[in-house]
Structure 1
Amino acid sequence: MRRVILALLGLVWLLPTYLLVVNAFRPATAYDPAKAWVPSGHIAIWGNVVKAWHKADLGGGLGSTLLYSTVSPAIALVFAALAGYGIVVLRIRGGFWWFMLIFGGMTIPNQMILVPLFVRYSDANLYDHRLGMIIIYTAISVPLAAFVMRNFFTGVAFSIFEAARMDGASTLRIFWQIYLPLSRSALAAIFILEFTFVWNDLLLGLTLTQSPTVRPVMTALAALQNDVYAGTPIPIGLAAGLVVSLPTVVLFLATQRLFAKGLTLGQA
């Protein structure tokens, strides 16, 4: 009975995906809301993708988003690992309060910082600049990464650090050559989460970017969806959504075992 319920819930969860795929493959001029559930029998996805690609300039958005979603999480992981290492292993003074300060960044909704962030970015000439987007995505990615890395390092025996110190290794060398390799799976899991968050972000892209070469792909997709209401055929908009969603889907499917392993490491 449990499997039947889970199967039914899975089908319900997949219904939007089914509608997206079926209508993205439909010819642009053949969309009928009354027949949205029925496959058209045509494969017009490539033409729809080409039209969406040129209309919304998805190429520039995908390139920028790929840059943001790889560089920012990578930098955040380094800062988070150093924070976890300092708090748990080096046992710096006031480590708990430092951790609470870093983790407190997760408790502030992004909507609350949009206005001051926009003003300060404009003053610092970071508005509509790729460097500015990398900075803000890095800052937002650090708290969750620091939380996971602190928990992971808590599960690593402190005797490893003591033994390395007795052998004459510096604290920085111990971090780079022992603790980072040990936390490889945890780092990979965090990177996947942060990559997905940055890739799917719309709010910061709408607020801090404007030009097609800087704005994230979700911002370009949102602009295309607005054009759908102005006359762009729905299959074209759905084809664009399908293309934009594929990288995160492929990433999760390719790394699901590593992702699950990384989240369970270090747990008591």
Structure 2
Amino acid sequence: MTARVLRPAVLVILGLIWLAPVYLLLVNASKPAAEYAADQVWRPISEFALIDNFREAWEIGSLGDAVTSTALYSVVAPGLAVLFGAAIGFGIVALRLRHGFFWFVLVFGGTVFPLQMILMPLFVGYVEAGIHDTRLGMIAIYTAITVPFAALVMRNFLGGIAHQVFEAAVVDGATTWRIFWRIYLPMSSSALVAVFILQATFVWNDLLLGLSLSRSSDVRPLMTAVAGLQDTYGGLQLTAVLAAGLLASLPTVVLFLATQRIFSRGLNLGQF
């Protein structure tokens, strides 16, 4: 009896602790600037000003270009990553690529080193190549760092498809490209969607690469733009900055809620 009561109580307490930052964000982002005080962050709102704070952050903070750029990065880079990852998994599993495990380790080995270790050579290389502070450069780096995880998941998933499927398609006269595009990709749609969601969320929430490889308002990602709203040049009230943070987090929340069933199915089938 004690365990039946204690367990839900502990879960409720942990849930409240987890939700506390969400409460602070929602409440303080909805306050007028005049009502905000550091010693009253837990105080409920008396006047709802969230829309005004949204408007101030959007107009004065110039978030429109950052949202457009980040949406582009979050769609193109993960999309390319899942295609490359699926192609790598297909080559290793279906085509029985010679030394396939070595090539997989070579691809996945890029995740061994922390990203901070390569920032300086990456920055120098981008400047010398002329792609620093360009959308093409941001798409390239986001694609490169998301391919290894996509390759890992797709290799595991495609390994669960019987090789007789590939052999039967070859007997029927299908080309390798047709087998990959018309058979293997549709069969792995759930895993592709799950990986895309995870990688799109990573790209959307990125701050480090945006700070290092971009500086223009029409190139920098959204999180980098939000981080600069309260600096010397931004100068927005903290309530507007919090509203901008809330605005930046909404798309990923909506994405997870809209694709929750597909995402869960992809995680299970992908055998993470």
Bin the TM-score by the shorter chain: over 0.9
> Who is 1:141 aligned against?
146
> Following the alignment from structure 1 to structure 2, what is the Cα–Cα distance between the partners of residues 266 and 33?
45
User: For the Cα contact (< 8 Å) 1:28–1:235, is it kept in 2?
Assistant: yes
| Residue 186 of structure 2 corresponds to residue 181 of structure 1 | yes
> Who is 1:246 aligned against?
250
| Residue 91 of structure 2 corresponds to residue 86 of structure 1 | yes
User: For the Cα contact (< 8 Å) 1:83–1:146, is it kept in 2?
Assistant: yes
Which of 112, 117, 120 is equivalent to 1:112? 117
* CA-to-aligned-CA distance 1:216-263 (integer Å, 9 cap, x gap): 0111111013359x8632211111100011001111111111111101
> Following the alignment from structure 1 to structure 2, what is the Cα–Cα distance between the partners of residues 143 and 221?
28
- In structure 2, the residue corresponding to 1:143 is in which secondary structure? helix
User: For the Cα contact (< 8 Å) 1:155–1:267, is it kept in 2?
Assistant: no
Across the aligned residues of Structure 1 and Structure 2, the Cα RMSD in angstroms comes to: 1.5
Paired residue type of 1:171: T
Paired residue type of 1:233: Q
> Following the alignment from structure 2 to structure 1, what is the Cα–Cα distance between the partners of residues 86 and 241?
40
Paired residue type of 1:179: Y
> Following the alignment from structure 1 to structure 2, what is the Cα–Cα distance between the partners of residues 242 and 227?
22
The farther-off stretch of 218-227 and 82-91 is 218-227
> Following the alignment from structure 2 to structure 1, what is the Cα–Cα distance between the partners of residues 145 and 237?
36
Q: Aligned pairs, how many? A: 267
Identity of aligned residues (%): 58
| Residue 62 of structure 2 corresponds to residue 65 of structure 1 | no
> Following the alignment from structure 1 to structure 2, what is the Cα–Cα distance between the partners of residues 213 and 266?
36
* CA-to-aligned-CA distance 1:180-239 (integer Å, 9 cap, x gap): 0000000000000000000000111001101100000111111013359x8632211111
- In structure 1, the residue corresponding to 2:138 is in which secondary structure? helix
**TM, length-normalised to structure 2:** 0.95
Poorly superposed stretches of 4+, deviation over 4 Å: none
TM-superposed deviation, 1:33? 2.2
> Following the alignment from structure 2 to structure 1, what is the Cα–Cα distance between the partners of residues 229 and 266?
37
Which of 257, 261, 267 is equivalent to 2:261? 257
> Following the alignment from structure 1 to structure 2, what is the Cα–Cα distance between the partners of residues 157 and 266?
15
> Following the alignment from structure 2 to structure 1, what is the Cα–Cα distance between the partners of residues 44 and 57?
21
Stretches of structure 2 lacking an aligned partner (at least 5 in a row): 1-5
> Who is 2:42 aligned against?
37
User: For the Cα contact (< 8 Å) 1:72–1:134, is it kept in 2?
Assistant: yes
| Residue 74 of structure 2 corresponds to residue 95 of structure 1 | no
Which of 14, 17, 40 is equivalent to 1:12? 17
